[in-house]
Structure 1
Amino acid sequence: MSSQHTTVGWARAFIAALAATTADPAIWDQGQRLLATGPAGPLNVNQGFATSKFPLPEGRVARPRLVVDELSAGEWERIETTIAARPDAVAVAGTAAISDQLADPTHTAGIPLIPGPQDITHTCTCTPTTTDTPCAHTVAVGFLLAERLRTAPAPLFTLRGRAHHHLKKRLRVPPAPAGLRGAALPAPTSLTPATPASRPAIPAQSTKRVVPIPEPADLDLDGLRPVLTGPLAPPPAPLPDIPAMGTLTADAAHRAGLLLDTNELPVCPDVGSDLARLVALPHGAPLRQATMDYLGLDLVGMGHLSLAYAYGGPAGATTYLKPLTVDHDILARAQAAIQPLRPAPMATVECENNRLTDHAAGIQLRYGPDGRWYPYRARYGLWQPADGPSADPARAYRAARTTARPHRRTR
């Protein structure tokens, strides 16, 4: 294999694997003619499959799907570790132009990134019954995918179960010191205030006998002496320290005031979103560094978390901090909704976990636990939260595009 950093080899290797799954030469020829003579919908590459659509007689639509076996998390870890150990790792895999060298399993821990014939399955809606037999539509999808790989093999990473940006991020961030890698973090008992779900329910009406308040006793207030004659000793472990207790007390008072004023409290889905809520308040600001350490965020990441909370509240913070698992139909409907708005409609939209990524437009939408889509923009190689979350993915996409427009200067 050539040592040059080209991409044509990816397409050739995939076509060879696709041809081995199609025993009938007539089906192969029909797939080629279908692309040459008939309109095809956009190619969508997702984790585990690639799909498109083709018109059929009587107004029907064929929806072929080329299903590819995904690599396991352990296999991906071995692949990324092998690539990261190369002195030219950034050059061959850390940019958009991925080298043909990685199409050779000897450069990826012996694990082939390009699927073999045994890893590929054909399904299509052009026939009344579901079979695994190749048809002209699924072969045409394979041709579309090979053409995409000829110039941008990164979608193959998504197809095999892990988007290319995971590897790029790993190559961009230096490894943590050996003593800190994998170290368990302590539970944030000193930072996390009690949530409404942990409060005992208060009965509407007590059945206990009411005890009358006793008469006030006569106290000698003149002879009293203050008990506290010096600073308090630090609380014993594992109790929080005195400043943390002060923060928890102030936060409890703040939450009590919200409950009295609005009769409701913000619901935080997890610890990370509760910390984002806490440090956004004046009494929680001193815990900003402790929050960064606990969540493993740098200064930029903490700034993005603050933006995510400002734009979307606790759900926005949760959506920023971790990927969520959602039904593929939700992603498919959202992808169809944003398709008319995309500046490059033929470019690939990556679907991973709860995220739709339009790299050509520099826009990402993330589906949050509150059923809203959160827009993100690519800033300096990082995804930054943008304002305008919405239950309508098209509206969230428009908000991201509006954020990207330069502001006009006023005279």
Structure 2
Amino acid sequence: MTVQYTTAGWARALTHALHQAAGDASLQDRARRLLATGQASPLNVNQGFATTKFPLPGGRVARPRLLVTPLTAGDWDRMETAICARPDAAALAGTAAISDQLTDPAHTAGIPIVPSAQDISHTCTCTPDAARAACPHSVAVGILLTERVRTAPAPLFTLRGRAHHHLKKRLRANSPAPQPADPPVPTADPTTTPLSPRPRFRHKPPERAGRSRTRSRLDLTQALPVLHAPLPEPPEPLPGTQALRALAANAARAGTCLDGQQPAAGPTAGGDIARFLSLVHGAAFRQAAMDHLGLDIVGMGHLQLAHTHGGPAGAAVYLEAFSVDHDTHAHAQASIQPLRPAPTATILCEDNRLTDEAAGIQLRYGPDGRWCPYRAPYGIWQPVPGPSPDPAQAYRAARRSNQRAS
């Protein structure tokens, strides 16, 4: 019989903790009346705090924060290991509808995901000293968060220090991949001399230690004449002149890296790998790159799309998360707010990623100062054309891509 998982328990557990942390039942009623006016800005969930804005008399703005103690990286590693060890882990936590069975610490290595009252505190600018005490504004933040996690508990993971997509990625990595069947071994003919089978390498070449092949020494000190005429194409099966030029450029780039300098293109190793694969002679190394980066076929296809749309920086953004200051996120949120189809829905901010789940759009800030648009038509974020230093332009590009897909 198929087990039906529910998510409502997340809201119940969080509400209980918030009531204990606030300590004043009347604040809950005042907070609900405040939310009934419809003046709250979209909820912003970050690592360690959730926040929004409320207008105050005199043109002032209240910026309340619900502060939550994040879990440590070691805590998250132990929890993810415990979750992934379950036979029903994919059904339990593999989608946005995370089962509320995980509210029980017995399923998460004894470490609670839902914060306790001792893990919760409040702050708000509605008073001059931004007192760290519960007020209707900060309690309203908790109510907004509770309604959010009732059906989509992923923001609670971000609040506690590690986004849900980390767990989903680990679940996908733990899923056994189908192995291709080995071809039948031909029967040896006793009348012929057996040949040594050609080795098959899945992930890495054989060890080079112990090779006794000697290398000829070249004299590179003498000057060589410059060829003014174009060289003829090398005979088959040697690479063509275009591939040889690209190989020479990559050799020069490798020399620059060995000298301790940062080459001009390719801000990270992952971005440089994507750049190399885009070259004619790089296609043969696609499987080796997948093994090195830990990507499946879909992931490698998305990496190459990211490079096509955004260059090496776009590929780096796909592979890695970069730290972005709060002002950069705040500017991006203000820029895209008039464009959002659901302006009151939650915006999630983690590292360099700004996610509007209600619109199915994510923006990722790259090392080149551009926002790269993403969409998730099948539950996995994939890059789309239109990186721009203006987050509003990148958001428009993502919306256009969604409209074309529909």
Deviations 1:37-90 (A, max 9, x none): 462222222221111111111111111010111111111111111122222222
The 1:77–1:59 alpha-carbon spacing in structure 2 relative to 1, beyond 3 Å, is: same
Q: Secondary structure at the match of 2:113?
A: coil
Q: What amino acid is aligned across from residue 251 of structure 1 in structure 2?
A: L
Q: Is the CA contact 1:4–1:99 (under 8 Å) kept in the aligned structure 2?
A: no
CA shift, 1:33, in A, is 2.6
CA distance in 2, matches of 1:368, 1:116: 36
CA distance in 1, matches of 2:84, 2:8: 23
Q: Secondary structure at the match of 2:174?
A: coil
Q: What amino acid is aligned across from residue 68 of structure 1 in structure 2?
A: V
Q: What amino acid is aligned across from residue 75 of structure 1 in structure 2?
A: D
Match of 1:375 in 2: 373
CA shift, 1:166, in A, is 2.1
Q: What amino acid is aligned across from residue 288 of structure 2 in structure 1?
A: A
Among residues 397, 401, 406, which one is paired with 1:403 in the alignment? 401
Match of 1:60 in 2: 60
CA shift, 1:255, in A, is 9.3
Match of 1:353 in 2: 351
Q: What amino acid is aligned across from residue 19 of structure 1 in structure 2?
A: H
CA shift, 1:253, in A, is 5.1
Deviations 1:203-230 (A, max 9, x none): xxxxxxxxxx99xxxxxxxxxxxxxxxx
Q: Tell me, yes or no, if structure 1 residue 113 matches structure 2 residue 113.
A: yes
CA distance in 2, matches of 1:30, 1:361: 31
> CA RMSD for the aligned pairs?
2.9
Match of 1:136 in 2: 136
Q: Tell me, yes or no, if structure 1 residue 174 matches structure 2 residue 174.
A: yes
CA shift, 1:95, in A, is 2.3
CA distance in 1, matches of 2:249, 2:70: 50
Match of 1:309 in 2: 307
CA shift, 1:266, in A, is 5.0
Q: Is the CA contact 1:4–1:100 (under 8 Å) kept in the aligned structure 2?
A: no
Match of 1:76 in 2: 76
Q: Which runs of 5+ in 1 are unaligned?
A: 178-183, 187-212, 215-241, 257-264
The 1:116–1:312 alpha-carbon spacing in structure 2 relative to 1, beyond 3 Å, is: same
Q: Tell me, yes or no, if structure 1 residue 270 matches structure 2 residue 268.
A: yes
Match of 1:297 in 2: 295
The 1:42–1:298 alpha-carbon spacing in structure 2 relative to 1, beyond 3 Å, is: same
The 1:291–1:172 alpha-carbon spacing in structure 2 relative to 1, beyond 3 Å, is: closer
Query: What is the TM-score with the length of structure 2 in the denominator?
Result: 0.76
CA shift, 1:365, in A, is 0.6
CA shift, 1:389, in A, is 0.5
1:75-224 alignment to 2 at 5 Å? 75-175=75-175
CA shift, 1:160, in A, is 0.8
The 1:17–1:314 alpha-carbon spacing in structure 2 relative to 1, beyond 3 Å, is: same
Q: Secondary structure at the match of 2:67?
A: strand
Q: Which runs of 5+ in 2 are unaligned?
A: 178-202, 206-221, 224-237, 253-262
CA distance in 2, matches of 1:161, 1:251: 43
Match of 2:198 in 1: none
Q: What amino acid is aligned across from residue 385 of structure 2 in structure 1?
A: D
1:17-32 alignment to 2 at 5 Å? 17-32=17-32
Q: Tell me, yes or no, if structure 1 residue 252 matches structure 2 residue 248.
A: yes
The 1:29–1:377 alpha-carbon spacing in structure 2 relative to 1, beyond 3 Å, is: closer
Q: Is the CA contact 1:31–1:140 (under 8 Å) kept in the aligned structure 2?
A: yes
CA shift, 1:366, in A, is 0.4
Q: Is the CA contact 1:185–1:294 (under 8 Å) kept in the aligned structure 2?
A: no
The 1:369–1:345 alpha-carbon spacing in structure 2 relative to 1, beyond 3 Å, is: same
Match of 1:390 in 2: 388
CA shift, 1:148, in A, is 1.8
Match of 1:344 in 2: 342
CA shift, 1:120, in A, is 0.9
The more displaced of 316-325 and 6-15 is 6-15
Q: What amino acid is aligned across from residue 388 of structure 1 in structure 2?
A: G
CA distance in 1, matches of 2:71, 2:29: 31
Q: Is the CA contact 2:67–2:123 (under 8 Å) kept in the aligned structure 1?
A: yes
Match of 1:221 in 2: none
CA distance in 2, matches of 1:105, 1:45: 23
The 1:117–1:278 alpha-carbon spacing in structure 2 relative to 1, beyond 3 Å, is: same
Match of 1:324 in 2: 322
CA shift, 1:342, in A, is 1.6
Q: What amino acid is aligned across from residue 252 of structure 1 in structure 2?
A: A
Q: Is the CA contact 2:204–2:288 (under 8 Å) kept in the aligned structure 1?
A: no
Q: What amino acid is aligned across from residue 151 of structure 1 in structure 2?
A: T
Alignment: residue pair count = 338
The 1:9–1:287 alpha-carbon spacing in structure 2 relative to 1, beyond 3 Å, is: closer
The 1:96–1:21 alpha-carbon spacing in structure 2 relative to 1, beyond 3 Å, is: same
Q: Is the CA contact 1:356–1:364 (under 8 Å) kept in the aligned structure 2?
A: yes
| Aligned-residue identity in percent | 65
